[in-house]
Amino acid sequence: MPHLVDISLCLIDVLDKLPAEFPQSVRRLVLYADVIKQDPMPILEKLPCLVMLELSGYKGQTMCCSSQGFPRLQRLALRSFSTEEWRMEEGAMPKLSHLTLWGCEKMSKLPDGLLHLPSLGHLELIDMDQISEDDNTLNELRRKGCEVHTLFFAQVNWE
């Protein structure tokens, strides 16, 4: 499938690991699983045309993004990750402009690597109340002009 540009895979129960090969033409990937057992980033970061990525369900303790990874990625949304540590090497995601973290309950601090993203202008934290307003990376991103939006569903009045 050399011309496939949009992939949406939803309602997956358990995904042990991603396939080693994705079509290199993929620009948008949405993958919602209850459980992803293996770090998906080493495979996905090699997709040269990927511009938008939404992932849900990674249950590993650490996640790593290497330098030169995700060369064109502009939007990234991570939901329901159990990741405690997110390592980002300098040079990863050079074009990322929008990042959404949603319900990543074990992530107690933002990765320092976010500070090396020259294009990051929007950060959304949804149900991420474990990230303190004193978080050094969060405050430095704000100082650099990144718009930070936080939403906690416990605070929403549904009446």
Percent of the chain residues topping a pLDDT of 90? 82
pLDDT digits (tens, 9 = 90+) for 86-97: 999 999 999 999
Reported as a pLDDT band with limits 50, 70 and 90, residue 19 is: confident
pLDDT over 70 (residue 159): no
pLDDT digits (tens, 9 = 90+) for 114-135: 999 999 999 999 999 899 989 9
Q: What was the pLDDT predicted at 155?
A: 53
| Residue 39: partners with Cβ closer than 8 Å, 6 or more residues away | 58, 60, 62, 63, 64
pLDDT over 80 (residue 52): yes
pTM here is 0.92
- Asked if 117 and 137 touch (Cβ cutoff 8 Å), the reply is no
Q: What was the pLDDT predicted at 4?
A: 87
Q: Which domains does the chain have, with CATH numbers?
A: 5-155 (3.80.10.10)
Please name which of 57, 136, 63, 141 lies closest in space to residue 103, comparing C-alpha atoms: 57
pLDDT over 90 (residue 17): no
75-79 and 98-102 beta bridge pairing = parallel
